[in-house]
Structure 1
């Protein structure tokens, strides 16, 4: 267990908040430059988040939040759990932490120059290892639980693509079955899989994809949207066929369907943000709990709407009611179904405000801007923060979504 930080260390860390506000992004950018110079460490990262600057932004926000909350680290519990789950998915191990320490402390000294006094550097060294020990301890707990779970495993496990299905013109599903023929651990609806991929011409890549199947013991399914010029998404769509073997780590993530199931649920998604909700809906449909479910989804056109027939089937069976927004098309009669209302144009926040169910638990997944606006509307109309749950894409470089 990590030893508590002393008063002097916490005081110095708090005093660094203005410097982090001014130079935090420069520090984390320099930190990643140093880390990624080591090929063994480089392969642990999603390089696309380095190229677009999202990972340094997200880390800068996390370091700033850590400094601001150094006297009340309980406020960081949710962020720590998300980081630990992400680390386990990527198979981060205790031996990786010293590399990060050297890069971070070196970056602080480099950027702050003479302002990085020995006292400041000592305080940040203590603060880093205090948090690192918390993460290492939590990650060890998760690894042990994965190893002990029926069908569970630790590390990378080979899975074969046993089936692929085009869900829309932009989304393809891949069913994954373990090569060893043994069972897989039941995931918690909403979790994701992490992948170690060798992409020709690009080398080793890491990606996370939400599981879009209901929990089971034989296989998993992921559903991937093709991204313009996306190194991995293009490769998956164009090159990965039935029979291709992929390296997969055990399910991870804390954006999950509550246990016990909330008494009333709203799933609100945009684009491929629907994938964790498809898993949750599968679990709800197979269980005995019949919580009222409302499904609100925004997509460009009927051709980009993934899992449309599945949603309409659930609606026909009375398992949910749905609103589908086509931001770039007018719905046709063929898109209508019992329990499904289709809309032309984007979902507006005034429309959402009129539809608020304050008793429901709201699950939100989609691009950061969409989530930021939606969460603001929910809070403004009186939905308690404890009933708002969300999953972000990428690195959560939006300060309103990273807490």
Structure 2
């Protein structure tokens, strides 16, 4: 891209700031009209609730704002590439996206989209596409080289389903072909692909692996989102909760940048809200199995005891491991909770346990809803925790960028 084209890209920044979501909303509608088969690859829940168009609008704006040095976005691009690998995104699909994105810019921006601007954005998009294609090529090669791993989708049998709380079920997934499965880092996820009757579509979703690695199966723990019509995110979780033992689903091999390094000796502070506890449980179990004397603090918050998944398992782990300390926050408590003195009423407040969590060289992992992550991140910063020691996982399209 030449200097003149970069200046033209930067000239569109005010329009992107003002009308970026109008552009991405139009783009998705246009692309799905011409390529309805792609609806099987995209999360239609995030299409319906607007999160995907917001994420794309933010990404396009960030690229324009950093067009002089896109390398500053490499961390974000790695996260996108990792998710693309888990969804089996292929190079030819970038051409489809590029065609409809450039055409959408011309049609939405109108007279402001001059021929030189459209040419500049075409060059800019395909330069970015080349970066992503090469990045993802490396991820595919690295992934398939791992023992037991695979690219694309592989069929797994649901051999066991366990109710963990009033709204979370665990699914034990065994490879239908009986062959080896790949190891993973605690905190990583798999993509699940199921047919959703209400949409008449295949739909993918990412679910964190919720246990330490077992060479026979993967375990995911899925929260059933209430209300499909007002809450489109519930389409896949309700489909999963309707599954029976013996059913077969397709999954991708483990992926994700949010994870615990197994050989790390740093103290751990795990902070989770709601179903955000799933990757933390994998970290906790792996930590228990690998390094018994590494100090670990787990702070968890949820609405009440009935939706507190894995409560008994965590208590058992706490009995077994003297390095583990827990703090539990419930929005609503019972007299029994108060008597047991094991629960703090209200939302998670890190200042109430700051004497325990401010550990030298500790690593802090946060997982939960978007606002939960922002609140706990800001609390840690206010407690003088360094940004480089804070890691977080946002389920769904990435809408926050705190580090």
Deviates more, 1:160-169 or 1:11-20: 11-20
**Correspondence for 1:6:** 2
**Correspondence for 2:376:** 374
Answer yes or no: is the 8 Å Cα contact 1:84–1:139 preserved in 2: yes
State how far apart, in whole Å, the 2-side matches of 1:120 and 1:82 are: 29
Deviates more, 1:70-79 or 1:107-116: 70-79
**Correspondence for 2:102:** 105
State how far apart, in whole Å, the 2-side matches of 1:331 and 1:284 are: 33
**Correspondence for 2:346:** 345
**Correspondence for 2:213:** 215
State how far apart, in whole Å, the 1-side matches of 2:355 and 2:45 are: 38
Of residues 29, 32, 47, the one that matches 2:28 is: 32
**Correspondence for 1:271:** 274
Shift of 1:15: 2.3
**Correspondence for 2:204:** 206
Q: How does 1:284-295 map to 2 (within 5 A)?
A: 284-288=287-291, 290-295=293-298
Of residues 151, 163, 168, the one that matches 1:166 is: 163
Output one character per residue of 1:110-168: Cα deviation in whole Å (capped at 9) or x when no partner: 11111111111111111111111111111111111222211111111000001110000
State how far apart, in whole Å, the 2-side matches of 1:60 and 1:253 are: 23
Structure 1 pair 73–167 and aligned structure 2 pair: CA distance change class (3 A): same
State how far apart, in whole Å, the 2-side matches of 1:227 and 1:86 are: 22
**Correspondence for 1:224:** 222
Give the secondary structure class of the aligned counterpart of 1:98. helix
- Length-normalised TM-score, structure 1: 0.93
Structure 1 pair 146–328 and aligned structure 2 pair: CA distance change class (3 A): same
State how far apart, in whole Å, the 2-side matches of 1:192 and 1:331 are: 37
Answer yes or no: is the 8 Å Cα contact 1:353–1:378 preserved in 2: no
Give the secondary structure class of the aligned counterpart of 1:36. helix
In the alignment, does 2:137 pair up with 1:140?
Answer: yes
Shift of 1:286: 1.3
Answer yes or no: is the 8 Å Cα contact 2:262–2:286 preserved in 1: no
Shift of 1:321: 0.3
Shift of 1:101: 0.3
Deviates more, 1:257-266 or 1:40-49: 257-266
Count of aligned pairs between the two proteins: 393
**Correspondence for 1:63:** 60
State how far apart, in whole Å, the 1-side matches of 2:339 and 2:151 are: 44
Give the secondary structure class of the aligned counterpart of 2:328. strand
Output one character per residue of 1:6-60: Cα deviation in whole Å (capped at 9) or x when no partner: 3223222222211110111111111111122222222110000010111000111
State how far apart, in whole Å, the 2-side matches of 1:208 and 1:299 are: 21
Q: Structure 2 stretches of 5 or more lacking a match? A: 228-233
State how far apart, in whole Å, the 2-side matches of 1:289 and 1:126 are: 53
CA RMSD of aligned residues (A): 1.9
**Correspondence for 2:326:** 322
Q: How does 1:248-267 map to 2 (within 5 A)?
A: 248-258=251-261, 260-267=263-270
Answer yes or no: is the 8 Å Cα contact 1:330–1:345 preserved in 2: no
